[in-house]
C-alpha cells in the first residue's frame, strides 16, 4: 500500500486530486499484496435463493420470480447482465436455494435447500445450513481466483430478501425494524407496515443472539445473504477485491464482518442504496461508496456500475507519466 501511495504521489497531477479513486487503488494493492494493479478479468457472482417469509405477504410479487430471474441471469437477459456486458464482466449465477429446479447452462448448481423456512414462525434455516451456504460462497471466491478473476462483484436474486436484510440489520445494529425497513421492490404503505410487523415477529419468535453472527444469520437471514457473506470472507482470505453492491449485499458484508472482524479492511463499497438502512450500513462498515445514484435494484447492478470508474483510476495509476519523466518539479504536501 505504501508503494501504491508513492506511485500516486509521483504521477504528474496534483497530490490526492483523484480522492477516493486513489484510496481504492491503494486498498486494492493491500488486498492483493501487490502495487501492480490488474483488474482485467472480473465477474459478478450472483447468489439466488428463495425466502419462506414471502408467505407473510411482505413482497409485491410471489417467489416464482426468483427462478425466472435466475434463469435470465444464465441467458443474459437481466439488468445486471446488460450492465455487466458494458463493464466487461461475466455474470455467474449460483443456485444456492431457489425453490424449484432452474435451467441454464451457466448456472452453478449449489442448492443447500429449496428456499428457507418462514422466519416469522421459526428459524429460517439450521445452523448447519448457514455454514454450508457460507462455505459455498468461500468456494466461489476460490473458483473465481483459479479462473483468473482479479476483482469480484456481489450480486443476488431472492424475492423477500430485503425483509431478511432488514431483519439482520435490525439485530446487528440493535435498531427498531421501522428504522431499517424500506419498500423493497415497491410495497404500498400498508405493505410496508406489514413487512415491519413481520420482522418484529421474526425477531421475537427466534430471539437471535446479536453477538453470535451465525445464530442471527441462520434464524433471520437467507441463503443468498449467507453465500455473499462467504464470498466476502473468501475474497479477504484469498486476496481478491470484492465489491459490495447495495442494501442486501451490505447486510451480507456486515454479517461477514461480525463473523470475522478483519474482513472490514477488505471491503470496497460501490454505491449507497436508496433503502433506509443503506447509509446506516455504510457507516457501520466504515465504507465510502463511490456513487449515490438512488439505486435499489440489486442483482449486483451498483457494483457493476463502478467497475468502469475503477478502470479509469487504474489507467491513470498505471499509465500516467511521472513528474520525473516529464521533467517538472513535483508537487509537495503543504501544511
Find out whether 196 and 181 touch, Cβ atoms under 8 Å.
yes
Residue-level pLDDT at 296: 85
* Partner residues linked to 48 by β-bridges: 95, 157
| Per-residue tens of pLDDT for the chain, all 335 residues | 999 999 999 998 989 999 999 999 999 999 999 999 999 999 999 999 999 999 999 988 889 999 999 999 999 999 999 999 999 999 999 999 999 999 999 999 999 999 999 999 999 999 999 999 999 999 999 999 999 999 999 999 999 999 999 999 999 999 999 999 988 777 788 878 999 999 999 999 999 999 999 999 999 999 999 999 999 999 999 999 999 999 999 999 999 999 999 999 999 999 999 888 999 999 999 999 999 988 888 999 999 999 999 999 999 999 998 878 887 777 776 55
Residue-level pLDDT at 183: 82
Domains of the chain: residue spans and CATH: 42-311 (3.40.50.10210)
The three grid cell numbers given for residue 278, joined into one nine-digit string: 443503506
Residue-level pLDDT at 335: 59
Look up the pTM and report it: 0.95
Find out whether 162 and 247 touch, Cβ atoms under 8 Å.
yes
Q: Active-site residues: which are they?
A: 299
Amino acid at each position: 500500500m505504501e508503494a501504491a501511495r508513492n506511485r500516486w504521489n509521483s504521477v504528474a497531477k496534483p497530490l490526492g486530486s483523484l480522492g477516493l479513486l486513489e484510496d481504492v487503488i491503494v486498498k486494492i494493492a493491500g488486498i492483493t499484496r501487490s502495487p501492480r494493479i490488474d483488474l482485467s478479468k472480473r465477474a459478478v457472482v450472483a447468489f439466488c435463493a428463495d425466502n419462506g417469509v414471502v408467505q407473510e405477504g411482505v413482497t409485491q410479487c410471489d417467489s416464482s420470480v426468483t427462478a425466472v430471474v435466475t434463469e435470465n441471469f444464465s441467458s443474459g437477459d437481466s439488468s445486471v447482465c446488460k450492465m455487466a456486458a458494458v463493464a466487461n464482466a461475466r455474470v455467474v449465477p449460483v443456485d444456492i436455494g431457489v425453490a424449484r429446479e432452474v435451467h441454464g447452462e451457466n448456472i452453478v448448481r449449489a442448492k443447500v435447500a429449496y428456499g428457507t423456512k418462514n422466519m416469522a414462525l421459526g428459524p429460517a434455516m439450521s445452523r448447519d445450513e448457514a455454514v454450508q451456504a457460507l462455505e459455498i460462497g468461500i468456494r466461489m471466491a476460490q473458483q473465481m481466483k483459479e479462473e483468473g478473476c482479479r476483482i469480484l462483484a456481489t450480486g443476488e436474486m431472492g424475492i423477500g430478501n430485503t425483509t431478511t436484510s432488514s431483519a439482520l440489520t435490525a439485530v446487528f445494529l440493535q435498531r427498531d425494524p421501522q428504522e431499517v425497513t424500506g419498500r423493497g421492490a415497491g410495497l404500498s404503505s400498508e405493505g410496508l407496515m406489514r413487512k415491519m410487523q413481520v420482522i418484529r415477529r421474526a425477531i421475537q419468535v427466534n430471539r437471535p443472539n446479536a453477538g453470535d453472527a451465525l445464530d442471527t444469520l441462520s434464524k433471520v437471514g437467507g441463503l443468498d445473504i449467507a453465500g455473499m457473506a462467504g464470498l466476502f470472507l473468501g475474497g479477504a482470505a484469498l486476496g481478491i477485491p470484492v465489491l459490495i453492491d447495495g442494501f442486501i449485499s451490505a447486510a451480507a458484508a456486515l454479517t461477514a464482518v461480525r463473523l470475522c472482524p478483519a474482513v472490514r479492511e477488505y471491503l470496497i463499497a460501490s454505491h449507497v442504496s436508496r433503502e433506509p438502512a443503506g447509509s446506516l450500513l455504510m457507516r457501520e462498515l466504515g465504507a465510502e461508496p463511490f456513487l449515490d445514484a438512488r439505486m435499489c435494484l440489486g442483482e449486483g447492478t451498483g457494483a457493476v456500475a463502478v467497475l468502469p470508474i475503477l478502470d479509469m483510476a487504474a489507467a491513470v495509476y498505471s499509465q500516467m507519466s511521472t513528474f520525473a519523466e516529464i521533467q517538472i518539479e513535483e508537487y509537495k504536501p503543504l501544511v
